[in-house]
């Protein structure tokens, strides 16, 4: 269980580039795992495994998972990635603040944290063979905070600049949102997802 100790704007939050610099002892295999930052704190940019054919998964926000200690959601992400022919997974989230209960997420967007989270996505896109594969997996929890819609919009647009191919797994919700990985059956295929159409339908902020 993780309850945020404070809003991230009231903490010293590392930029993504700063967070890439190793700071903790090697408590896990760094040739296997990507973990940014590499210590447990109130935010997490990336958790995943290294490979030649990774699947980027975008959830809603991180909880307690860390290398060699995946929670049920991350275990499902890894299982679905391998089932669909990928050799690794790279977990990013719509918002980087840790909170086991999404109701504990901060009420207001920390724009600096969001900006660095986009840098984390850019970094992952650069690691992937073209076109990068992105699994949209944020579920109805996107509705918990109004600012999450804008975060998704920015990620979709960034992915578009890399020619990303988007996928979902399982049926979309009645509200039209991508299925969360926690509740998927063991063998679940990935299906094409028109991320820009989703953006235009649900994310009402248009270019002006």
Per-domain boundaries in the chain: 8-202
pLDDT beyond 70 at 203:
no
In this prediction, what percent of the chain has a pLDDT beyond 90? 83
pLDDT in tens, 57-107: 999 999 999 999 999 999 999 999 999 999 999 999 999 999 999 999 999
Q: What pLDDT score does 185 carry?
A: 78
pLDDT beyond 80 at 206:
no
In which element (H, E) is residue 139 found? none
pLDDT band for 208, please (50, 70, 90 cuts).
very low
* Structure tokens belonging to residue 87: 């050799």
Distances (CA, A) of 160 to 74, 122, 144, 154, 179: 25, 11, 25, 10, 21
The whole-model pTM stands at 0.94
- Give dist(CA 72, CA 18) in Å, integer: 29
pLDDT in tens, 122-134: 999 999 999 999 9
Across the chain, what does the average pLDDT equal?
93
Q: What pLDDT score does 126 carry?
A: 94
Contacts of 172 (CB under 8 A, 6+ apart): 178, 179
User: Maximum CA pair distance of the chain?
Assistant: 48
* DSSP alpha helix (H) spans, the chain: 16-20, 72-83, 111-127, 147-161, 195-202
pLDDT in tens, 39-67: 999 999 999 999 999 999 999 999 999 99
57 forms beta bridges with: 91, 135
pLDDT beyond 90 at 164:
yes
Q: Side-chain half-sphere of 199: how many Cα atoms within 13 Å?
A: 19
Q: What pLDDT score does 25 carry?
A: 81
């Amino acid at each position: 269980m993780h309850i945020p100790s404070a809003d991230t704007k009231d903490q010293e939050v590392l930029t993504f580039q700063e967070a890439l610099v190793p700071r903790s002892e090697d408590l896990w295999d760094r040739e296997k795992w990507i973990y940014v930052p590499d210590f447990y704190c109130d935010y997490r940019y990336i958790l995943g495994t290294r490979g030649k054919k990774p699947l980027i998964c975008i959830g809603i926000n991180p909880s307690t998972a860390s290398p060699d200690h995946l929670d049920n959601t991350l275990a499902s992400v890894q299982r679905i990635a391998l089932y669909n022919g990928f050799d690794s997974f790279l977990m990013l989230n719509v918002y980087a603040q840790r909170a086991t209960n999404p109701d504990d997420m901060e009420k207001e967007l920390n724009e600096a944290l969001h900006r660095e989270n986009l840098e984390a996505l850019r970094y992952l896109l650069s690691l992937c063979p073209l076109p990068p594969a992105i699994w949209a997996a944020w579920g109805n929890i996107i509705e918990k905070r109004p600012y999450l819609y804008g975060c998704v919009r920015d990620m979709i647009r960034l992915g578009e600049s890399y020619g990303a191919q988007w996928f979902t797994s399982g049926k979309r919700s009645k509200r039209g949102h991508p299925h969360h990985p926690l509740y998927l059956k063991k063998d679940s295929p990935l299906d094409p997802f028109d991320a820009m159409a989703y953006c235009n339908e649900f994310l009402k902020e248009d270019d002006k």
